[in-house]
Structure 1
Amino acid sequence: MEVQLIPVEKIVEDPDQPRKGYDEESLQGLAESIRRYGLINPITVRPLPDGETYQIITGERRWRAAQLAGLTQIPCIIKQVDYDAVLTEQLIENLQREDLAPIDKARALKALKQSRRLTNRELAQMLGLSERTISIWLGLLELPEEIGEQVIAVSGRPPAGSITESHARSLLELDDPELQTRVAEKIREEELTSEETAALVRTLREEPERADEILEQPAEQVLAAAEVRGPALEVRRFRRYLEGLDVSALHPSHLQPLEEELELLLEVIAEQLQNIRAEVE
Structure 2
Amino acid sequence: MKIKNIPLKLIDIADENVRKDHPFGRDARDQLIKEHLSKFELLQPVVVRFDNASKRYKLLIGRRRFLSLSAKGSREIPAVVTELEGAEAEAASLFENLIRKDLLPIEKAKMVKKLV
* TM-score, normalised via structure 2 length: 0.75
Letter in 1 for 2:66: W
Rounded to whole Å, the distance in 2 between the matches of 1:27 and 1:71 is 17
Instruction: Name 1:81's counterpart in structure 2.
Output: 84
Structure 1, unmatched stretches of 5+, are 100-281
> Do residues 91 (structure 1) and 100 (structure 2) align?
no
One-letter amino acid matched to 2:81: I
| Correspondence list, 1:190-229, <5 A | none
CA distance in 2, matches of 1:18, 1:78: 18
Superposition TM-score, scaled by structure 1 size: 0.33
Cα displacement (A) at 1:11 = 0.5
Mapping of residues 5-24 of structure 1, within 5 Å: 5-19=5-19, 20-21=21-22, 22=24, 24=26
Q: Which fold has the larger relative contact order, with Cα–Cα distance below 8 Å and residues 6 or more apart in sequence? A: 2
Pick the structure with more helix per residue.
Answer: 1
Within 5 A, what are the aligned runs for 1:1-281? Answer: 1-19=1-19, 20-21=21-22, 22=24, 24=26, 25-50=28-53, 52-97=55-100
- Cα RMSD between the aligned structures? 2.1
Count the aligned residue pairs: 100
> How much does 1:82 deviate?
2.7
Q: Which has the higher strand share?
A: 2
Q: Percent identity?
A: 24
Structure 1 ranges of 4+ moved more than 6 A: none
Q: C-alpha displacement at 1:2, in angstroms?
A: 1.4
Max Rg structure: 1
Counterpart in the other structure of 1:279: none
Aligned-partner Cα distance in 2 for 1:10–1:97? 28
